[in-house]
Amino acid sequence: MTAAVTYEHIKTCKQTGARLGIVHTPHGSFETPAFMPVGTQATVKTMSPEELKAMNAGIILSNTYHLWLRPGNDVIKEAGGLHKFMNWDRPILTDSGGFQVFSLSEFRNIKEEGVHFRNHMNGDKLFLSPEKAMQIQNDLGSDIMMAFDECPPFPATHEYMKASVERTSRWAERCLEAHARKADQGLFGIIQGGEYEDLRKQSAQDLVSLDFPGYAIGGLSVGEPKDVMNRALEFTTPLMPANKPRYLMGVGSPDSLIDGAIRGIDMFDCVLPTRIARNGTLMTSTGRLNIKNAAFKRDFGPIDEKCDCYTCKNYSRAYVHHLIRADETFGIRLTSYHNLQFLLNLMEQVRQAIREDRLGDFREEFFEAYGFNKP
Ligand SMILES: Cc1ccc(CCc2c3nc[nH]c3cc3c(=O)[nH]c(N)nc23)cc1
Ligand SMILES: [Zn+2]
């Protein structure tokens, strides 16, 4: 069968290592570098599919762990799959659930066959394995599935990380066998290895030899310092096939998106925009601001002069300040809309800078305006 998910390279920026591309999936294509809004429980919090399309979201993410526990992958399968269930006809990527087990539930116990843990909502004993994670994602019908991996905490000893990488590689083989390419879905391998160059190389070699249609860098954005992340990217990205999508999991903030793209990453996800929106924190072209601040009570200008989003075109800082202070749901919708549009616009500016071979210059301009300290 033809590969369900393919990468089309358009060009590489002459000033940096960033690349412009297109990822093709059964539910359509999206340009890269791309920011992928996170919709953990089958919704990008407070946003409708129409609004996500209006802001040019090309692909969204959802979660195996959460949807398995509630409403159940069987329910979503019976509904005709996740696209139909949530009325989203563009690409969907689902994570495999391992990461969520480690970040959400206690009493977990990792064995060769899989992970035993307790349901973080009711304490029931549960078991998740490579085979189970593939079956759930198959039921959801996502266009891009992630292999079942272990994302060790940061920091981890070299000894622990080596054993974990070797198990994750064995789990990746089991995912491929379980998937058996029966579904028209792409399966990405996840490279682990933490901050250790030799283990990143071992993980990459193991997974590249299994010929996945795409690859992710896991094990980062788990509390490590930015320079540890950037160094890991520098020696891991070159190990990944140039003709396949490269996804950096859990990243990230505006500066990390730009620095990741410069190091050859194509796909990013982050819960940040909708998570910080809920407490009124907004990303703007001149840095972050918290709209609850008293300074905005009588500020009748837009959130961000340079933003053309629905919120900035129709509402003032004073109005959003009022709604968030009054704990009005519409306020969270307006701040979420703006933050998502901000990151989606940022990635369009990154793609344009690659087209013009000036992503290095763009990085300087953006860091200056946003207030990021110099490298
Ligand atoms: C809906 C959804 C939410 C979140 C994610 C990414 C979640 C995520 C990480 N987030 C920060 N760092 C991360 C590392 C890993 C990792 O090593 N492996 C996996 N499978 N996921 C990770 C994917 C989908
Ligand atoms: Zn805006």
Give the catalytic positions in this structure. Answer: 95, 269
CA distance 299 to 34: 33
Closest ligand 1 atom number to CA of residue 217: 17
Q: Angle at the Cα of 323 (from 321 to 329), degrees rounded to 5?
A: 135
Closest ligand 1 atom number to CA of residue 221: 12
Confidence of residue 3 (pLDDT cuts 50, 70, 90): confident
Q: Is the CB of 41 under 6 A from ligand 1?
A: no
**How many angstroms separate the alpha carbon of residue 291 from the centre of ligand 2?**
13
Confidence of residue 98 (pLDDT cuts 50, 70, 90): confident
Does residue 135 have a pLDDT over 80?
yes
What are the pLDDT digits (tens) for 222-258?
999 999 999 999 999 999 999 999 999 999 999 999 9
For this complex, say whether ipTM is above 0.95.
yes
Does residue 182 have a pLDDT over 70?
no
Overall pTM surpassing 0.90 (yes/no): yes
Tell me the residue type at 350. Answer: V
Minimal-distance CA residue to ligand 1 atom 9: 250
- Between the alpha carbon of residue 62 and those of residues 137, 146, 270, 316, the distances in Å are 10, 11, 12, 32
**How many angstroms separate the alpha carbon of residue 341 from the centre of ligand 2?**
7
Q: Is the CB of 281 under 6 A from ligand 1?
A: no
CA distance 353 to 364: 12
CA distance 270 to 214: 19
Q: Mean pLDDT throughout 279-292?
A: 97
Does residue 192 have a pLDDT over 90?
yes
Ligand nearest to the CA of 340: 2
What are the pLDDT digits (tens) for 100-126?
988 887 778 999 999 999 998 898 999
**How many angstroms separate the alpha carbon of residue 148 from the centre of ligand 1?**
11
Q: Output the pLDDT for position 181.
A: 66
172: Cβ contacts below 8 Å, ≥ 6 apart? 130, 147, 148, 149, 189, 190, 206, 207, 210, 212
